[in-house]
C-alpha cells in the first residue's frame, strides 16, 4: 500500500511540476501574446470599411469640437482683454481730464 501511495505522490509531484512549467512558459509569453492578439483584433476590425468610416468620422468630429471650443475661447479671451484695456484707458483719460491725475 505504501508503494502505491508513493507512486501516486510521485505522479502528483510530476503533474504539479509539469503544470508549473507550463504556467511559467505562459506567463513569460503572455505579454507578447496579448499584444499580438490586440493588434490582430484591431486589424480585423479596421478591415471593415463601415467601421473605418465610423471610426474616422468620430475622430474628426471630436477634433473639430475641440478646435471650435479652442477658437471660441481664444476669441473670447481677446474680446475680454480688449474690453478691459478700453475700460482702463477710459478710466485713465477720465482721471486726467478731471484733474485727479496731473
d(CA 90, CA 98): 12
Given pLDDT bands bounded at 50, 70 and 90, which one contains residue 93? very high
Given pLDDT bands bounded at 50, 70 and 90, which one contains residue 7? low
Q: Give Cβ neighbours of residue 101 (< 8 Å, ≥ 6 apart).
A: 92, 95
Q: Please tell me the predicted confidence (pLDDT) of residue 79.
A: 92
Distances (CA, A) of 71 to 56, 58, 74, 76, 78: 22, 20, 5, 8, 11
d(CA 43, CA 54): 15
d(CA 37, CA 9): 39
Q: Please tell me the predicted confidence (pLDDT) of residue 73.
A: 87
Q: What is the pLDDT of residues 53-81, one digit of tens each?
A: 998 899 899 988 888 888 888 888 999 99
Given pLDDT bands bounded at 50, 70 and 90, which one contains residue 6? low
Q: Please tell me the predicted confidence (pLDDT) of residue 90.
A: 94
Instruction: Of 29, 26, 6, give the one whose Cα is nearest residue 18.
Output: 26
pTM recorded for the entire structure: 0.38
What residue has cell string 482683454? 81
Is the distance from CB of 52 to CB of 46 less than 8 angstroms?
Answer: yes
Amino acid at each position: 500500500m505504501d508503494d502505491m501511495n508513493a507512486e501516486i505522490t510521485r505522479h502528483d509531484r510530476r503533474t504539479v511540476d509539469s503544470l508549473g512549467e507550463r504556467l511559467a512558459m505562459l506567463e513569460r509569453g503572455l505579454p507578447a501574446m496579448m499584444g499580438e492578439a490586440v493588434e490582430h483584433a484591431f486589424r480585423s476590425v479596421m478591415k471593415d470599411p463601415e467601421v473605418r468610416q465610423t471610426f474616422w468620422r468620430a475622430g474628426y468630429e471630436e477634433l473639430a469640437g475641440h478646435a471650435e471650443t479652442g477658437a471660441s475661447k481664444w476669441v473670447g479671451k481677446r474680446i475680454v482683454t480688449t474690453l478691459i484695456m478700453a475700460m482702463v484707458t477710459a478710466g485713465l483719460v477720465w482721471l486726467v481730464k478731471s484733474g485727479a491725475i496731473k
